[in-house]
Structure 1
Amino acid sequence: MKKHFLNLALWALLPMSLCVTGCSDDDTYPDVDGQSPVAEMTTLHIQTAAGRTFTIEGTLTDADGISTIQLQCEALYLNKTIDLIEIYGEPQTEYELSYNFDMPANEIADSYTVTVTITDIGGRSVTQDVKVTLDGDFENPVFVSGAPDEGSIVPVILREGETPTLDLNFSLSDDRGLDYLNIDIEGLEGFPKRIDLGMQTTGEYTESVSFPAEIQDYAYTVTLADTIGKIVTRTATIRVTDVMDYEKMYLADVATEAELNSDVFGVPMCIDHTGEYEYQAIYYNAEAGTEIYFIPTPGSFAVRYGINSEDNTVLTNDPNLVQPLVLDQANVYYIININIWDLTYEIAGTYSVEEAQDPWGTDMTYGEECFDLWGDGTTFIPFTFGLTSDNPTNVVSFTQDETNPHLFYSEPMELATGEQMHFIIHNYHQSEWWNAVRWCSISNTDLDVFAYYTQSASKNPDYTGPTTGQDVWSEPTVTTGGTYRFYFDSHLGRAKLVRE
């Protein structure tokens, strides 16, 4: 700064007429090397998408001092001047440019050019053109179906005189393009193998894999890559075994793996593990003719138990023989017991919706003004409940089913990809928390069962459904955005959030 001060002092001694014709930024801040600025841009090609923010970055240097930076793109209505002297009080010999711009959500052109002009105090400038294209890839490739759950055990049943086999059936997608699928079954001949997916946005791959006829575990890894190198990997264990006592078993009332995997949670329905190799399902059957299977892996039909087509009195998981169990009574709750060790099943009975019990007492009727607001008998509001996200007035309300009063459903809701939800099932209240009813999931990510919160009021002593003393908030993550509807059975404590 001392050098700048001496120069100003010398100019003060010159005639005023010279100052009128000769003063400039260059006179105030003299040249050091008289060279143009240097711009080292981080990239000259930015890949983004409509509705996203992109950043123009670079290191700008000039020994004489940079005075201004201009960013211009007429098509995007961008005309920005960064005046460094105005910002810092003096030119800058080095500047780290980082300028964010929000790409409008309605832009549809393939590419744009942002012109970046750097000017020093001597009026010398350099220009860099940054190409901006709407072909950015911000989403990972997706296993729509067929991939194992991370860390899970994939069973392959070993039967005497048969070759144990596992049917692989992958459905894949990516918003831009798929590159390859890699499958590795460690120790098995023919693996690893890579399947090129041809840059398509969707892909399918099926294969029947044979294993040696001996009980053994195999490390199993599947890797999916898109065209820009985004990679998703799942690891599991393939277990060749004669029988497995699964920790969880599920009742599937849908026909395809795509349906198994299109929900946020709740499909298929988790059933009770009542003993070693034994399970019990209590299931509301809305329509006669419903076909169901029992599966140990919630996202796959690779192993499924059903009726043996050669003997309909027993179960089987033989893919060549298995048939669905058909429920022929409508509007009743079925009790079904299965044993996967001796492959037996029993329809233990049915009961009506009138016999089914809800956890709240008889002094409250859903939708009626039976809710004593202040507890003094002066003001009553309707008893309703729904998905509550942060306070008892912010409730996605439920509609009660006309046929089964224990069934409730929400209006359709729009959910975004990657959105993490945060909710409990709770009664509406206009001023404060009042746990007239509340249901909580097993954990914030395990939503197989919604148990009735035992600190809620008016517990019905005849209710035998799941209960909990843990105040847990459910936090599922939406894998694929879209329109969904929430369904809840207050008798069973089972819920699902499924696509419309």
Structure 2
Amino acid sequence: MKKHFFNATLLWAFLSLALWTTGCSDDDGYPDVDGQAPSIALTADHIQTAAGRTFTLEGTITDADGISTIQLQCADLYLNKTIDLIEIYDKPLETYKLSYNFEIQPNEIGEQFTVKVTVTDVGGRSVSQDVRITLDGDFENPIFVIAPTNGSMVTALLREGEIPKFTMNISVTDDRALDYLILNIEGIEEYTNLRVDADGGKAFEQAFDITMPAEKKDYPMTISVYDKTGKSSTIECTVSVTDVQDFEKMYLADVATEAELNSDVFGVPMRIDHVGEYQYQALYYCRNANTEIFFLPQKTSFSPVCYGLDPENEDMLTDDPSTAKPIVLTHANVYYKINFNILQKTYEIDFYSVEDAIDPWPASMTYGLPTMDKWNDGGSTMMDFTFGMTSTNPTEVVSLKQDATNPHLFYYDPMSLTGGESMNFIIHNYHTDQWWNFVRWCSDTEDNPEVFGYYNGSSMKNAAYTGPTTTQDVWSKPRVTATGSYQFWFDSHLGRAKLVRVN
């Protein structure tokens, strides 16, 4: 018995000596090279991101003995990921480029988190490093809420005995923090790279009372705004000093404030028709008696030019925003037709009933009721005639609701939209068989739709219709500025639509 005990003791001593001589190893028998713990060189130990966005853990990991696993853990984010290199590559690696993407949930309400990165080598040695994740990342450029339209003409009118001047209101927002605004009007010393600090707020407003030289001339103007991270947005336009300008575009404003002029996605103010030199015609459905309107050559402000009643002679118009009185439309539930001449400052007002208004589709078809002409071939297959917005095809049209008073007016219940998203739609009839160009409207431009023309390729037409038509297959893709609830309205007689903010 003593002999056996002595031999077992010698065997254990020999095995212990062998293990001590060769160093530690895992169950797969990987020998030590330097016996040192792994090395982690992460690209950043602080990552700024935001809810709904993806951040990336990046870096270089090295270990002469061989990297076995990498663990990424953060209980608050429900992150528990093990990257097993031996399982992936069938062997340990001495160098590994870490690049792991993780998406923050859109409804995440936390502000900061710690992700622990733990690396273990084949000898069981490990090292950890923490990465701080904060939801304060800045990914968006500042947004002009109220400002001249990019590429537009701002007019400073030459009036007898007066110095040409205008008021320009600027309103800007940012998802994080605004830094400053730069206004530059070339050739005007007072407004050469004029800087106005925004003091780090998320919103900034400034009214500029600008005086121009009393001579006919155009001046390039640039407005740039910067946030605290250096992201910027810029508007380039022209200040035109002139006596009377034949404006290419004119708009009807039925709202009272500049905030309302700029809180819509599109459609406010409403584009009207330029029918001749200095002459314009507005067709407008008046839902409420005593609606007050003005006419504007610029979309975003009541200044520098605003056409309304001259307080000294209400049979004439004035273009001075400081004195113009609103034109009051006294009748409800009728279409108004207003013709005016901005050179002569004259205007005429008339109106007609909703029964006299004409839609572009055949009079034999009634919205919401079955039509026998499903294929426009005189067939006998019945289908309800409806239309609405679609981003794909006529089988996925969400039909509009028809107004109870005006059969030419259609709407959706308020919808929630997210700031920064871009829409994509045309207005098309619903159809189970993807019958294109049956009844369809397309807009004049993608980003800033103003007129919705009845598509000339449509199969169904009313010969008596004289409203806007189009041959261009343009899909509307306006960008939503601010998150909120919006309501869509469409007038099939006028070919006008709007998407406006509601409480």
TM-score between both structures, scaled by the size of structure 1: 0.90
Structure 2 stretches lacking a partner, 5+ long: 1-13
Corresponding residue for residue 431 of structure 1: 433
Determine if the alignment matches structure 1 residue 180 to structure 2 residue 180: yes
Determine if the alignment matches structure 1 residue 229 to structure 2 residue 230: yes
Q: Is the 8 A contact 1:152 1:237 kept in 2?
A: yes
Structure 1 residues 393-402 or 376-385, which shifts more?
376-385
Instruction: Give a deviation string over 1:404-432, Cα, whole Å, max 9, x none.
Output: 11111122222222322222211111223
Q: CA–CA distance in 2 between the matches of 1:107 and 1:495?
A: 36
Change (3 A) 1:417 1:68: same
Q: CA–CA distance in 2 between the matches of 1:403 and 1:112?
A: 56
Corresponding residue for residue 361 of structure 2: 360
Determine if the alignment matches structure 1 residue 459 to structure 2 residue 493: no
Q: CA–CA distance in 2 between the matches of 1:494 and 1:265?
A: 10
Q: CA–CA distance in 2 between the matches of 1:345 and 1:376?
A: 47
Corresponding residue for residue 8 of structure 2: none
Q: CA–CA distance in 2 between the matches of 1:383 and 1:109?
A: 49
1:373 positional shift: 3.6
Q: How does 1:90-105 map to 2 (within 5 A)?
A: 90-105=91-106
Q: What amino acid maps onto 1:168 in structure 2?
A: M
Corresponding residue for residue 405 of structure 1: 407
1:129 positional shift: 1.1
Q: CA–CA distance in 2 between the matches of 1:327 and 1:131?
A: 61
Instruction: Give a deviation string over 1:371-423, Cα, whole Å, max 9, x none.
Output: 44465654322211111221212112111111111111122222222322222
Instruction: Give a deviation string over 1:148-193, Cα, whole Å, max 9, x none.
Output: 2112221111122211112121222222222212222222122322
Corresponding residue for residue 7 of structure 1: none
Q: CA–CA distance in 1 between the matches of 2:328 and 2:491?
A: 21
Q: What amino acid maps onto 1:463 in structure 2?
A: Y
Q: How does 1:332-351 map to 2 (within 5 A)?
A: 332-347=334-349, 349-351=350-352
Q: CA–CA distance in 2 between the matches of 1:448 and 1:367?
A: 26
Corresponding residue for residue 59 of structure 1: 60
Corresponding residue for residue 253 of structure 2: 252
Corresponding residue for residue 144 of structure 1: 145
Q: CA–CA distance in 1 between the matches of 2:172 and 2:392?
A: 36
Give the 3-state SS of the residue equivalent to 1:354 in structure 2: helix
Q: What amino acid maps onto 2:337 in structure 1?
A: I
Q: Is the 8 A contact 2:145 2:481 kept in 1?
A: no
Q: What amino acid maps onto 2:45 in structure 1?
A: L
1:201 positional shift: 1.9
Q: What amino acid maps onto 2:277 in structure 1?
A: E
Change (3 A) 1:26 1:380: closer
1:326 positional shift: 1.1
Q: Is the 8 A contact 1:435 1:455 kept in 2?
A: yes
Corresponding residue for residue 203 of structure 1: 204
Structure 1 stretches lacking a partner, 5+ long: 1-13
Q: CA–CA distance in 2 between the matches of 1:443 and 1:204?
A: 29
Change (3 A) 1:324 1:31: same
1:38 positional shift: 2.7
Corresponding residue for residue 484 of structure 1: 486
Give the 3-state SS of the residue equivalent to 2:44 in structure 1: coil
Q: CA–CA distance in 2 between the matches of 1:439 and 1:226?
A: 39
1:33 positional shift: 4.2
Give the 3-state SS of the residue equivalent to 1:85 in structure 2: helix
Determine if the alignment matches structure 1 residue 379 to structure 2 residue 376: no
Corresponding residue for residue 329 of structure 1: 331
Aligned-pair Cα RMSD in Å: 2.4
Corresponding residue for residue 130 of structure 2: 129
Instruction: Give a deviation string over 1:256-299, Cα, whole Å, max 9, x none.
Output: 12111111111111111111121111111111111111111112
Give the 3-state SS of the residue equivalent to 1:86 in structure 2: helix
Give the 3-state SS of the residue equivalent to 2:355 in structure 1: coil
Q: What amino acid maps onto 1:45 in structure 2?
A: H
Give the 3-state SS of the residue equivalent to 2:115 in structure 1: strand
Q: What amino acid maps onto 2:44 in structure 1?
A: T
Change (3 A) 1:364 1:138: same
Q: CA–CA distance in 2 between the matches of 1:153 and 1:260?
A: 18
Q: CA–CA distance in 2 between the matches of 1:59 and 1:244?
A: 64
Q: CA–CA distance in 2 between the matches of 1:241 and 1:110?
A: 54
1:34 positional shift: 4.2
Q: Is the 8 A contact 2:164 2:241 kept in 1?
A: yes
Q: What amino acid maps onto 1:212 in structure 2?
A: P
Q: CA–CA distance in 2 between the matches of 1:376 and 1:310?
A: 61
Give the 3-state SS of the residue equivalent to 1:221 in structure 2: strand
Q: Is the 8 A contact 1:26 1:122 kept in 2?
A: no
Corresponding residue for residue 189 of structure 1: 189
1:462 positional shift: 1.9
Q: CA–CA distance in 2 between the matches of 1:321 and 1:108?
A: 50
1:473 positional shift: 2.4
Q: CA–CA distance in 2 between the matches of 1:111 and 1:469?
A: 53
Q: CA–CA distance in 2 between the matches of 1:138 and 1:409?
A: 34
Q: What amino acid maps onto 1:351 in structure 2?
A: Y
1:28 positional shift: 4.1
Q: What amino acid maps onto 1:218 in structure 2?
A: Y
Corresponding residue for residue 9 of structure 2: none
1:16 positional shift: 12
Q: What amino acid maps onto 2:285 in structure 1?
A: Y
Corresponding residue for residue 243 of structure 2: 242
Determine if the alignment matches structure 1 residue 283 to structure 2 residue 280: no
Structure 1 residues 411-420 or 108-117, which shifts more?
411-420
Q: What amino acid maps onto 2:159 in structure 1?
A: R
TM-score between both structures, scaled by the size of structure 2: 0.90
Q: CA–CA distance in 2 between the matches of 1:113 and 1:186?
A: 50
Change (3 A) 1:112 1:286: same
Q: What amino acid maps onto 1:187 in structure 2?
A: G
Give the 3-state SS of the residue equivalent to 1:260 in structure 2: helix
Instruction: Give a deviation string over 1:30-68, Cα, whole Å, max 9, x none.
Output: 444444433221111111222322111112223333222
Corresponding residue for residue 265 of structure 2: 264
Instruction: Give a deviation string over 1:62-107, Cα, whole Å, max 9, x none.
Output: 3333222121223333222212122112222221111112223343
Q: CA–CA distance in 2 between the matches of 1:452 and 1:229?
A: 44
Q: Is the 8 A contact 2:266 2:448 kept in 1?
A: no
Q: CA–CA distance in 1 between the matches of 2:364 and 2:74?
A: 68
Determine if the alignment matches structure 1 residue 112 to structure 2 residue 106: no
Change (3 A) 1:372 1:342: closer
1:134 positional shift: 1.7
Corresponding residue for residue 390 of structure 1: 392
Give the 3-state SS of the residue equivalent to 2:88 in structure 1: helix
